[in-house]
Amino acid sequence: MKHVFVFVIQELAGNGTEELDLGGKVVVPGFIDSHVHLLYAGLQMARVKLQGVNRKDEFVRKIKESVRYAKEDSWILGGGWNNDLWGGELPLASWIDDITPYNPVWLYRMDGHMGLANSVALKLSGISNLTKDPEGGTIVRTVDGEPTGLLTDSARKLLLPYIPEDTVSERREALLKASSLALMRGVTTVVDFGRYYPGASAELSWKDFSDVYQWADASEKMIIRVCLFFPMETWSRLHELIEEKGRAVSQWIYLGGVKAFADGSLGSNSALFYEPYANEPHNYGLQVTESEILSNMTMASDKSGLQVAMHAIGDKANDLILDIYESVVSTNGIRDRRFRIEHAQHFAPGAAARFGRQGIVASVQPLHLLDDADSATKKLGMDRAQKESFLFRSLLASNALLAFGSDWPVADINPLGSIRTAMKRIPPAWDDAWIPSECLTLNDALKAHTISAASACFLDNDLGSLSPGKLADFVILSTDSWDDFAAEGSASIEATYVSGVRAYP
């Protein structure tokens, strides 16, 4: 098979063709990451990084270090912390108040649904014991009713307006840095969901489009392809733009569709479930957008021909969206619409089969399986966690389209890591797979990061496989043995080509 393929390619060579001797190395299509927050990831690269921090004193030390170089009154931003790594205790403003007396601080949790403010930041944004919880969010408080510094979901809206906006040049720099890192990891196309928390200003996504993406495109600085999704409440604006420009603004920028949120996240106990959290018996999670609003927006977006994606993590949130999608189809009629559910992490019985039956794309992030394994068993209980989490094999068995992504910067952008994780499903410090029957083969995992990911955003005519007529985006891997790769899932990126031109290293 291999030889036939080589022969066919050689037939196509003309005298302008550059021939590379790859020494038998495996070549795969350029990876497509189905879910990133690209500019946000780039911005985070320049901020306090708390990913992987597993002790309180380390957390405090990192803040101390960044305060040392900060101007008085300037915001200390960053995050990526995961309290599950130090035993679960949530951080408090009081941990860092005495080392940050002159600087407001805002540090998001790794899932982005929660963050820690210090007392300077709380004061600056007027959050006190007298402030009421906004709908869809919580100001976490002590038993005396004093804010602890933690703000979840929409409660972040009380503080975010006080953080100065990133400048245009910071955001442009962020795009360039993030894109270079993507190429290093073999990613040639990303689906960008913009600013990722519920309640983020929709305007920001549009400003990023005009200030950053259009600038980069016009000044020939785009080095990866992006497919952009916009907040669903602005669907008519996207509809008009597509009418004007078409879906492909250029070979680099595609206008994707619209996205809204059904629930929060598991890490912040705000993913929406039928059963309460095992560690919080009265908490079922949060529905962050009213059903009628989600339903009306989906109906209108779909009617105008836009692709719709919904964030749903908990089992109840997934069912809610499956129901909405079903009713929109019955009203608007059958067409090739490729409705997506982003994350699709926990399912009630029967949900995986509904993805297949209804033709819903499951846009999932295998690397979250590693981050969530311990907390899922704690928060859902072993029984639920073992039955309903990250059901990739079941989704494929139901004929659903499975698209892989990273949710970068929530998890690292690393398709080879995510492919391996989907094959092995072994969380750190575990001996065995988490639900072994849900492990994928290399082929299935590879498809989910290439051709299926391309189909999931309607780019399969141009991308996702090494086929005549498609754009020549491909990756050379370090391994020369397909069999070893299929057994272990391990390899590294030797080189990344975009449109047939070497882009990395």
Ligand X SMILES: *[C@@H]1O[C@H](CO)[C@@H](O)[C@H](O)[C@H]1NC(C)=O
Binding site for ligand X (CB under 6 A): 14-16, 129, 145, 292-293, 296
H, E, C per residue of 402-463: EEECCCECCCCCCHHHHHHHHHHCCCCCCCCCCCHHHCCCHHHHHHHCCHHHHHHCCCCCCC
Spatial CB neighbours of 213, under 8 Å, sequence gap ≥ 6: 175, 222, 226, 228, 253
Shortest CB 147 distance to ligand X, Å: 10
CB 46 within 8 A of CB 70: no
CB of 145 to ligand X, least distance (A): 4
Task: Tell me the closest approach of the beta carbon of residue 207 to ligand X, in angstroms.
Answer: 26
CB 368 to ligand X: min, Å: 31
Instruction: Compute the least distance from the CB of residue 136 to ligand X, in Å.
Output: 15
The residue among 127 and 352 lying less far from ligand X, judged by its C-beta, is 127
Minimal distance in Å, beta carbon 144 to ligand X? Answer: 7
Q: Based on CB atoms, which residue is closest to ligand X, 136 or 256?
A: 136
Confirm if 220 and 214 have CB atoms less than 8 A apart: no
Min separation Cβ 127 and ligand X, Å: 12
Long-range contact list for 369-372, CB < 8 A, 24+ apart?
369/421, 369/422, 369/425, 369/427, 369/434, 370/421, 370/427, 370/428, 371/82, 371/110, 371/267, 371/411, 372/266, 372/267, 372/345
CB nearer ligand X, residue 27 or residue 299 = 299
**Closer to ligand X at the Cβ: 123 or 502?**
123
Question: E-strand spans in 211-285?
Answer: 225-231, 253-261
Sign of CA pseudo-dihedral 433, 437, 443, 446: negative
Other CB atoms closer than 10 Å to residue 353's CB: what's the count?
16
Nearer to ligand X, 13 or 382 (CB): 13
Q: Which of 129, 467 has the CB closer to ligand X? A: 129
**From CA 85, how far away is CA 64, in angstroms rounded?**
20
